[in-house]
Structure 1
Amino acid sequence: MTEYADDLVAAAVAVRLCAYAPYSGFFVGAAIRSEVGIHAGCNVENAAYPQGNCAEAGAISAMVAAGGRQIREVVIAGDGATPVTPCGGCRQRLREFGAPELVIRMVGVDGGARLVRTLGELLPDSFGPDHLAPDSSVRG
C-alpha cells in the first residue's frame, strides 16, 4: 500500500464506525479520492430490506454532491480482520465513475489485512458509460 492511500485508509476506517447496521451488525466504511477531494460513506441499513445503502454508494453520493465525477482511488474497510470486496451492485456503481484500471484497496477493521484489486479484476468485461456515448449513427 502506498503512502498516497493512507489518508483514504484512515477515512474509511473512521467512517465505518458511523455505520447504521442494527440488523446485520456488519459495519462498512468507504473512502473515495476524486478530482475534488476525499469523500467517505458508511452502510445504512433499513428495516424494509433491501432499502439500505452500501458504504460505497454513500461515498459516491458525497462525491457527486461535492461536484466530483471521476473516482481515482477507493478504500473499503470491512467489519473484521479479513478484507471484504464490494458487492456486485457497488462494483457497477464504481464503474460509473471509474475506469477498469481504478485501484480498489480493501482493508480489515483496523486498516490491516490489505487486499488490492483493480475494478477490472473485480468486474471483468464491464458495461460502463462509454457504451452509451452519444453516437447519432447508432441511434438513428
Structure 2
Amino acid sequence: MLNEKYFSALNSFDSDSYFKLLVIVAGADGNICESELAFLQDQAKLMDYDLQAVLNKGLNLSDIKVQGISIVTKKIVIRDCISLAHIDGVYDKNESEKIQEIGKTLGIVPEDIDKINEWLLEYWAIIEKGEELLTA
C-alpha cells in the first residue's frame, strides 16, 4: 500500500522539471515519435501543464535546475523517462544513456535506475498477463 509519506512527498512534485526532463529523453533518439508525444500530452493533460511551451524550447540537461527537486520527483522522472523510452517498443542506447545521464545529474545511482527499469518490466508483464487472462 502507498503510505502517507509518499503522498506528502508528492506535494513537492516539480512538474516543470518533470516535463523538461521527459522531453529531453523523448528527443534523445533524434525525434519525438507519435507514441512518445501522446504519452507527453496525456501526462500534461493530467497535470494541467502547458507542454507546448517546453516542446518549443531546445532543451539541454544543463537547463534544468536540480537543486530543490524532491527525491520523489526525481524518481518519478526516472520512472516516466524509462516508460517513455520503452513506449515506441525500442529502448535504444541513446535513450538509456540519456536516462543514466539524467539520473547522475539528479543524484540517482545507476543501480536504482536499473531497479526502477526492472520493476517496470515486471509491472508491464503482470498487466499483459492480466489482459491475456481477461480476454482468453
TM-score (norm. length: structure 2): 0.32
Structure in which a larger fraction of residues adopt strand: 1
Q: Going by fraction, where is helix more abundant, 1 or 2?
A: 2
The TM-score with structure 1 as length reference comes to 0.31
Greater relative CO (CA pairs within 8 A, separation 6+):
2
